[in-house]
Amino acid sequence: MAQSLNILVTGGAGYLGSILVPELLRAGHRVAVLDRFMYERNSLATVCADPNFTIVDGDARLEPTLKPLVAKADVVIPLAALVGAPLCDRDPITATSTNFDAVVLLTKLMSPAQRLIIPVSNSGYGVGEAGKHCTEDSPLRPISRYGRDKVAAEKAALERENAMSFRFATVFGVSPRMRVDLLVNDFVYRAVHDRAVVLFESHFKRNYLHVSDTARAFLHGINNFDAMKGGPYNVGLSDANLSKWQLCERIQAQVPGFTFIEAPIGEDPDKRDYIVSNAKIEGAGFLPRHSLDEGIGELIKGYRMFRRTEFSNV
């Protein structure tokens, strides 16, 4: 068994955290979660019986709250964030203080020996070159406040000697703290409940990744930290660099009554359009296990249980 570590996860009760934290505990680690519980308070209910789990209701931007938790940690994973362009545009001050300033604070509180693994978004690539995959060496051209803050936070984190970053693709799948506003999750919801979606700029492409594979990426990074530290890694499904139109075709294969059309006028406020190479992390031994089609099937089952009004960031 790998070494048991003390791991601090800020924002650990959210969409990613409620999948990651149980996996870290199953791997034998001691996990402390710091969360403000903006949305729900029961997403980590199933791990409360674990003696290696502790929870702090507090704000990751506040040094008096953060400092004693950081002091006990071998590894810090800052998931606390306002995620997505619409939410960040609606509350820009909170967005930047959470997505960037809190990471800078973390880097100041951590000793050189402590390990930092930061999730960012491959939305930092903005608009890629047609037909050319974005690698970790591609220029970063974020086009939203969310993207800009994440790029700046990654830079601050990687200036430390003991750090790595994961540039996650657009995440999908069912989680205890569900989000319906993510692209795949949203489109499958519309297919199941509305049977139709109107697409704006349907040729825009993105890469995708199952939420459970985000947790596996963190575990892989922890277990291979010395070999991988020092840089960024794209993490996504290499067979899922798809346009929104192609994504809808994949959903339609499992929801036969689903109809989708291109809007005759208007445009998508989210201008991201790129394809991504995940070769670097694949070369480091990590491969996702969950396909896009499996995730679509999972979401269809999930949406038979719950409705949009319960689960959204916007």
DSSP, residue by residue, 156-220: HHHTSSSEEEEEE-EEES--SS--S-SHHHHHHHIIIIISEEEESSTT-EEEEEEHHHHHHHHHH
Higher-pLDDT residue of 2 and 89 is 89
pLDDT for 270 equals 77
Locate 62 and state its tokens: 């506040």
- What mean pLDDT is predicted for residues 189-193? 96
Give the Cα separation of 23 and 21 in Å (integer): 5
Average pLDDT value for residue range 236-246: 97
CB of 147 closer than 8 Å to CB of 85: yes
Q: How far apart are the first and last CA of the chain?
A: 41
pLDDT tens figures, 281-297: 999 999 999 999 999 99
Report whether pLDDT(250) > 80. Answer: yes
Helix/strand/coil for 39 = coil
Distance CA 122, CA 120 (A): 7
What is the per-residue pLDDT for 130?
A: 84
pLDDT of residue 309: 60
pTM: 0.95
**Cα dihedral 157/177/73/28 (nearest 10):** -120
Q: How confident is the model at residue 67, as a pLDDT?
A: 98
Q: What structural domains and CATH numbers belong to the chain?
A: 6-172+210-236+278-288 (3.40.50.720)
Supply the DSSP string of 129-144, one letter for each residue: -TT-EE-TTSPP---S
C-alpha angle 129/228/235, rounded to 5°? 40
Task: Grade residue 306 by pLDDT with cuts at 50, 70 and 90.
Answer: confident
- Per-residue pLDDT at 143: 87
Work out the pLDDT band at 265, boundaries 50, 70, 90: confident
Residue 40 has pLDDT above 90, yes or no: no
Q: How confident is the model at residue 307 (pLDDT cuts 50, 70, 90)?
A: confident
Residue 255, pLDDT score = 98
Euclidean distance between CA atoms 298 and 309, whole angstroms:
19
List of residues 6+ apart from 83 with CB closer than 8 A: 15, 146, 313
Reply yes or no on whether the pLDDT at 220 is more than 80.
yes
Sorted by sequence, the CB contacts under 8 Å of residue 193 that are 6+ apart come out as 303, 307, 308
Residue 267 has pLDDT above 90, yes or no: no
Q: How confident is the model at residue 314 (pLDDT cuts 50, 70, 90)?
A: low
d(Cα 10, Cα 78) in Å, to the nearest integer? 5
pLDDT attached to residue 33: 98
- For residues 112-126, give the mean pLDDT: 94
- Confidence at 275, pLDDT banded by 50, 70, 90: very high
Mean of pLDDT over the chain: 94
